[in-house]
Amino acid sequence: MKKYTVVLAAVVLFISASMISVFANDIIWDDIGRDSLDLRTVLVNPNNSSIIYIGSSNAVLKTKDGGATWRNVLSVRGQNKAVNFLLFNPYDKNSLYAATGSGLFYSPNQGKDWKKIFQGKSYLENECTTLAVLPYGIYLGTKAGLFVSKDKGRSWHKESAKLGNTHILAIAYNLKEQDYPERGNSGSVSSGSRRDTSQNNNIRDIYIACIDGVFRTKDRGQSWEKIFVSHSVENSNDKEEVIDNQDDIEERFSNIRYIAQDPDNLNYLYLATSRGVYISQDKGQNWELLSSFGLLSQEVRFLLASSQSRLYALTKSGIFKYTKNRWQELSLGLIAEEIRFLAQDSQNNLYAACDKGLFKAGLTHFSNDKQNNLISLYFQNEPKINEVQQAAIKYAEVEPEKIARWRRLAAKKAWLPQVSMGLDRNTTDL
């Protein structure tokens, strides 16, 4: 009987190990960073995926050949040299912005020349975390509030109230809003005429994720409304208080980590929190928690929402893709201790900026159909469970008649009294 149990356990372990091997080997991560370590962000040219920029703890590096060679295009000076975010001007791909711990830098010629266009009055204001370049202004997030420039960075003003005194985490917006009619939850075109696109300035909804919650504006920043309340340790209330001491901002804690908007559906928002991923299907009016099935950690640090409604999440344990109400890990073969940023190019290649470098994985062959049928394809020539059981019984030299006899003896034994004779054994076995 023991042989029977051991054989079945070995079969189960073999099948499990084989399944893990299939999933792990299906995605291959290539190190294209060439010894560039401690990376914070990555930016891929949407028109040419061979041109890639990465931000490290002290510099911006660029490659023109897909990672074969790299060169330093910006060395950051100051107390905090980290490059936190990189962004192209969506209306001029030659213009590049770098949000760093020492201010905001701008390059008009793809990183050849740089100029600092923002510097804060304190070290928290000076640490730029995120950026949005829109037709009617530049929105800059810092650890001490949101700054806005209406003249391409020549002058800046700080937002008032809560957004002027909080740690800005991410900014979400959709450039397609100026080109397409608004869609309802079902995806159908709503009644009404197409919006005027003669002027490139019709983006209305901007979403700001900060440690105090999620805010939305419908009028280009003239007014803001809170659409998601943060559950923080020191800021559990929802009072619009003004923080006098900016140094206290860094000491507060929040469950919010990042916000992203579906590029194909303007109504869909995704929010990364320490409790999982929330989704809104009506531009932030209502939120619900997505399933955490498959996530090894509910603390999601970053989200990437790409075309065809693909959603990727970063946790401290890896990279996950959301498909049919569950998460599947994509980073089993990725050698990195901390993954900090994700990007994707037009060929469906995924890029991961990590502490150990920049890694690239091709996901074109990893379609949803293949993902759903992978297990069935693997087991199509495998024996049935009853065949495995019969083989295990035969291997253990246990015939069905012997098993039936054992069961009859066990049934009789259950009715016999337990008698102790002073020996360390059961006398009913004699």
8-state DSSP, 207: E
What is the pLDDT at residue 374? 43
Cα dist from 284 to 209, 309, 395, 397, 422, whole Å: 12, 17, 61, 65, 74
End-to-end CA distance of the chain: 20
For the chain, how many residues are written?
Answer: 430
pLDDT in tens, the chain (430 residues): 555 454 455 544 444 444 444 444 468 999 999 889 999 999 999 999 999 999 999 999 999 999 999 999 999 998 899 999 999 999 898 999 999 999 999 999 999 999 999 999 999 999 999 999 998 899 999 999 999 999 999 999 999 888 999 999 999 998 875 443 443 433 333 333 333 333 445 667 999 999 999 999 999 888 999 999 987 544 444 444 444 444 444 445 789 999 999 999 999 999 999 999 999 999 999 999 999 999 989 999 999 999 888 999 999 889 999 998 999 999 998 989 999 999 999 899 999 999 999 999 987 655 544 444 444 444 445 565 566 566 665 555 556 676 777 777 777 666 666 555 554 444 444 3
For residue range 327-383, list pLDDT tens digits in order.
Answer: 999 999 898 999 999 999 989 999 999 999 999 998 765 554 444 444 444 444 556
What is the pLDDT at residue 317? 82
- Sorted by where each begins, the domain ranges of the chain are 1-27+369-430, 28-368
Contacts for 323-328: CB closer than 8 Å, 24+ residues apart: 323/368, 323/371, 323/372, 324/368, 324/372, 325/291, 325/293, 326/291, 326/293, 326/294, 327/291, 327/292, 327/293, 327/294, 327/295, 328/23, 328/294, 328/371
What is the pLDDT at residue 220? 87
Can you say how many angstroms the Cα of residue 38 is from the centroid of all Cα atoms in its chain? 18
Q: Write phi, then psi, for 250 (nearest 5 degrees).
A: -70, -20
What is the pLDDT at residue 145? 96
In this prediction the pTM is 0.73
What is the pLDDT at residue 414? 62
- Identify which of 339, 352, 342, 288 has the alpha carbon closest to the alpha carbon of residue 310: 342
CATH of 28-368, one of 1.10.287.1260, 3.30.70.250, 2.130.10.10, 3.10.20.740: 2.130.10.10
8 Å CB contact between 98 and 83? yes
What is the pLDDT at residue 384? 57
